[in-house]
Amino acid sequence: MDELFWNELLAKTRIFVRETMLCTDPGHDMWHIERVCRTAVLLARKEGANINIVALAALLHDIADAKFHQGDEEKGPALAMVFLTQNKVDEALTAEIVYIVRYLSFKTSIGFSPVKSIEFQVVQDADRLDAIGAIGIARAFSYGGFKGRPFYDPDVVPEKFSNPEAYKNSQAPTINHFYEKLLLLKDIMNTTTAKEIAQERHDFMLQFLDQFFEEWA
């Protein structure tokens, strides 16, 4: 596939994603997709991953997030598959992108270890980087608000989830999500470049939590 094919494909993908994504919470909107795509391309340059594949997978990674589709985990991979096939992407690359869309997310990684190409690693790191730091904090409270959760409840202690179902069904206050997911992400970044970026964002969340509890008290 030459550069012209790729440019047209990425442009069409952007339009498809914008039209297909539901009106979700502001933490899972087209801006999330564009941030993840930008970060993924930046990581790809540093880590020697294929930039076009990474951009395509990043654009499609939340095409039908199960959280906003009654828990249907198959919808995203299925939509990506149809879109890529219709747009004449060859079978091998289609399979590669669909695999990334299917196994990228934090919850599917609980209790399952997918085989990760460097492109998979880079897109996953980019998605995880968008879950931490200042934007990560904003996204967590946006989702919590969307779900009608309290910020914090001193009587509800954070849990350690050992299966995706328990994680998905959690109704816990938003502050718990920092301990249940966000603060864990720094140590599970795949690439060195993402680990470096994650450290600063992680420290910022710790500072935020200190201040939050100080004000609460």
Interface with Ni ion by CB under 5 A: which residues? 62, 127
Return the one option of ligand ADP, Ni ion, none that residue 143 interacts with (CB less than 5 to 8 A, by type): ligand ADP
DSSP letter at 132 equals S
Query: Element (H or E) spanning 29, and its range?
Result: none
Residue 201, interface with ligand ADP (CB under 6 A)? Answer: no
- Gap between the Cα atoms of 27 and 172, Å rounded: 18
Of 24, 39, 121, 174, which lies in the binding site for ligand ADP, with binding defined by CB under 6 A?
Answer: 174
The nearer residue to Ni ion, 103 or 212, going by C-beta atoms, is 103
Please name the residues in contact with 40: beta carbons below 8 A apart, sequence gap of 6 or more: 54, 55, 57, 58, 122, 123, 125, 126
Burial label for 9, CB within 10 Å (0-12, 13-18, 19+), is buried
Residue 202, interface with ligand ADP (CB under 6 A)? Answer: no
The nearer residue to Ni ion, 116 or 152, going by C-beta atoms, is 116
The nearer residue to Ni ion, 4 or 142, going by C-beta atoms, is 142
Residue 144, interface with ligand ADP (CB under 6 A)? Answer: yes
Residue 161, interface with ligand ADP (CB under 6 A)? Answer: no
